[in-house]
Amino acid sequence: MSEILNPILTLVLNYGYPIIVCCIIAAYFGLPVPTNAILLAAGSFSIDGNLNIFLLILLAAVTAIIGDLFGYYLGKKFGSHVVNNLTNKLG
């Protein structure tokens, strides 16, 4: 896990909020990104004064809500088609 986490934390420290948002978005697309560890580290960076904790919470919440809405939209738009195709192939 440290092979993935160390470079990401370096990017978070250097570039801040855009990297955090990109990691959360990547996790919503199913990529194995350790978002919990990244957000925990970002909170630690905010204690040092590198990031604003209130902006961090706002961005993480808004990004998570947008990701959930996008997943809901995809499920509503294509979900029944996917389920029908799977049941026809399996049954």
Who contacts 59 (Cβ-Cβ below 8 Å, separation ≥6)?
17, 20, 21
pTM (whole model) above 0.95: no
Find the distance separating the first CA and the last CA of the chain, reported in whole Å.
Answer: 40
8 or 62: which carries more pLDDT confidence?
62
* Banded pLDDT at 71 (limits 50, 70, 90): confident
Between CA 64 and CA 74 the distance in angstroms is 15
Percentage above 70 pLDDT, the chain: 98
Task: Please say if the pLDDT value at position 61 is more than 90.
Answer: yes
**29 phi and psi angles, rounded to 5 deg:** -90, 5
Burial of 12 by CB count in 10 Å (0-12 exposed, 13-18 middle, 19+ buried)?
buried
